[in-house]
Amino acid sequence: MKDLPLTRREFIRGTSGFGFLAFSGFAPSFLAQSALAQTPAPERDRSILVIIQLAGGNDGLNTVVPHTDDRYYNLRPKIGLRKGLLDINDDLALHPACKELHHLYNEGNLSIIQNVGYPNPNRSHFRSTEIWETGSDSDTFQREGWLGRFLDNACSGSPTEDSDPAAVHVSDMIPQSYLSIKSHPLFGMKAYGKFDRSDDPADLAYEKLLQAKHIDGNATYLQQTMMNTLVTERRVERIIAKYKALGNYPNTKLAQSLKRVAALVHANMETRVYYVSQTGYDTHANQLNNHQRLLSELSAAMSAFQDDLNAHGKDDQVLTMTFSEFGRRPAENGSGGTDHGTAAPLFVMGSKVKGGLLGSAPDLGISEKEDLEYATDFRGIYSSVIDKWLEADSSHILGEKFDHVPFI
pLDDT in tens, 101-155: 999 999 999 999 999 999 999 999 999 999 999 999 999 999 999 999 999 987 6
- Mean pLDDT, residues 207-213 taken together: 60
Task: Average the pLDDT over each of 38-52, 96-110, 272-286, 333-347 and give the range with the smallest value.
Answer: 38-52
Size (the chain), residues: 408
pLDDT at 198: 57
pLDDT beyond 50 at 9: no
pLDDT at 327: 98
pLDDT beyond 90 at 210: no
Given CA atoms 145, 147, 152, 157 in this order, what sign does their dihedral have? Answer: negative
pLDDT beyond 90 at 214: no
Please answer whether residues 274 and 169 qualify as being in contact, where contact means their C-beta atoms are separated by less than 8 angstroms. Answer: yes
Position 17 confidence tier, pLDDT thresholds 50, 70, 90: very low
Task: Average the pLDDT over each of 2-16, 340-354, 363-377 and give the range with the smallest value.
Answer: 2-16
- What mean pLDDT is reported for the chain? 85
pLDDT in tens, 244-260: 999 999 999 999 999 99
Most confident option among 40-44, 123-127, 157-161: 123-127
- Mean pLDDT, residues 264-274 taken together: 94
- pTM attached to this predicted model: 0.86
- The Cα 357–Cα 111 span in angstroms is 6
Please answer whether residues 28 and 165 qualify as being in contact, where contact means their C-beta atoms are separated by less than 8 angstroms. Answer: no
Q: Let me know how many helices (H) and strands (E) the chain has, helices first.
A: 12, 12
pLDDT at 192: 84
Residue 191: CB partners within 8 Å, gap ≥ 6?
170, 253, 254, 256, 257, 260, 276
Position 186 confidence tier, pLDDT thresholds 50, 70, 90: confident
- The Cα 144–Cα 182 span in angstroms is 10
pLDDT at 46: 83
Task: Average the pLDDT over each of 148-157, 194-203, 325-334 and give the range with the smallest value.
Answer: 194-203
Question: Can you list the alpha helix ranges (DSSP code H) found in 213-286?
Answer: 218-242, 253-266
Position 329 confidence tier, pLDDT thresholds 50, 70, 90: very high
**Could you say which of 3.40.50.2300, 3.40.1170.10, 3.40.720.10, 3.90.1720.10 is the CATH number of the domain covering 8-398?**
3.40.720.10
Greater model confidence, 277 or 230 = 277
pLDDT at 204: 57
